[in-house]
Each structure stands twice: as structure tokens, then as C-alpha cells.
Amino acid sequence: MGSFSLIHWIILGLFLLLLFGGNRFSNMMKDVAKGLKSFKEGMTDEDKPADRRDDPRHLPPQSRAPEKPIEVTPEPRPREDDQTRQ
């Protein structure tokens, strides 16, 4: 008496089919599949390295070296004593 027989499973299946309907059930399965697909895409997006072109801190490599180095040493300022003597 505690177990379901074949007729019980058929009645239960018909009841669920009437409750959800054929179209509702297929739509629910499509929604579940879309959710799983978007979840998988989200997981693979996290694994990909970030595109460095979008990063404003990333500078493109120089095509060639400058011909002469840039001078960064400041020139000495003339002293006020030198200007008044002239």
C-alpha cells in the first residue's frame, strides 16, 4: 500500500500535464535553459583577461626610440649678482 503503482504514476502525470499544460511546461524548460546558458557565459567572461585597449592606463608600445634623449636636467639660473654687474 505504501508504493505507487503504474496507474498512480499515469494519473499523476495527467494531472501535472493539465495543471501546467504542454505549452507552459515547454516554456518553463526554455527559460531554465536560457538561464543556464547565460550563467555559463557569465562564468566564461570572468575567466577571460580584460581587454587592455579599454584600459586608459595602458600605453601603446613605441614604434621607435627617439633619435636623441630628452634633456631633463634644468639649466642653472643666473644669479642676481651676475645680472647687476653687467
- Calculate the CA 64 to chain-centre distance: 34
pLDDT tens, position by position, 60-76: 666 666 677 778 888 88
If DSSP codes are grouped into helix, strand and coil, which group holds residue 80? helix
- Model pTM? 0.35
pLDDT tens string 9-21:
999 988 888 887 7
- Domain extents in the chain: 1-45
